Amino acid sequence: MSTIDEAPAAGLPPQLPWERFWQLIALIGGEPAVAFCATFHDGCERLSEVLAAGPVEEILGFGERFAEALYRLDREEYGTQGAVDPEHPGESLPLSDDGFLYARAAVVAAGRAAYERVLGEPELFAAHSFRSGESLLYVHEEAYEAATGEEWDHDTRYDYESCSNREGWPNL
């Protein structure tokens, strides 16, 4: 992944360097865990506050990179894995569209090293499948509203909703 800003498409904000994106993600304090939901939520609030205190361009760039990170994980080899409950490791449940999105957000929240491991080894995704990174989905929107007084109304380059990456889901 490049840490160099890429040329923005017409009407879209410049990309936040990947290095800065991962520095910001690190403010959360680690991946969400079932027993530590409040800690994860607090970390998301902290990240939102840091973003809101900075330039609006960084908030927009964070939203762009986050959408791209989620989009890269929106692939059949991840989405067809079941959710594995750590208390019942031999069992798995199918992931709903929302569950798949929240699990992808949990992978991002786990940080750069975990994210890159999962990208390289899809079978590692299952370890994140029972975690919900849902709170992370709203960080940039809340930061934008706090910084500008306006609601987030920006389309990102990448649609991160489940199954939107057509290359990642060739059998759909």
pTM over 0.75: yes
Does residue 129 belong to any structural domain of this protein? yes
17/102 Cα distance (integer angstroms):
24
Amino acid (1-letter code) at residue 106: A
- Least Cα distance to 92 among 105, 82, 100 occurs for 82
Residue 32 lies in a domain: yes
Residue 5, in any domain of the structure? no
pLDDT tens digits, 22-46: 999 999 976 555 444 568 888 999 9
Task: Report whether pLDDT(49) > 90.
Answer: yes
How does residue 83 score in pLDDT terms, banded at 50, 70 and 90?
confident
Whether 159 is covered by a domain: the verdict is: no
The domain in which residue 43 lies consists of 18-148
Per the domain annotation, does 157 fall within a domain?
no
Least confident of 12-26, 33-47, 101-115, 127-141: 33-47
How many structural domains does the chain have? Answer: 1
Residue carrying the six token digits 């992944």: 1
| 70 domain-assigned | yes
**Is 154 a domain residue?**
no
Please give the pLDDT value at position 2. 34
**94/35 Cα distance (integer angstroms):** 22
Polymer length of the chain: 172
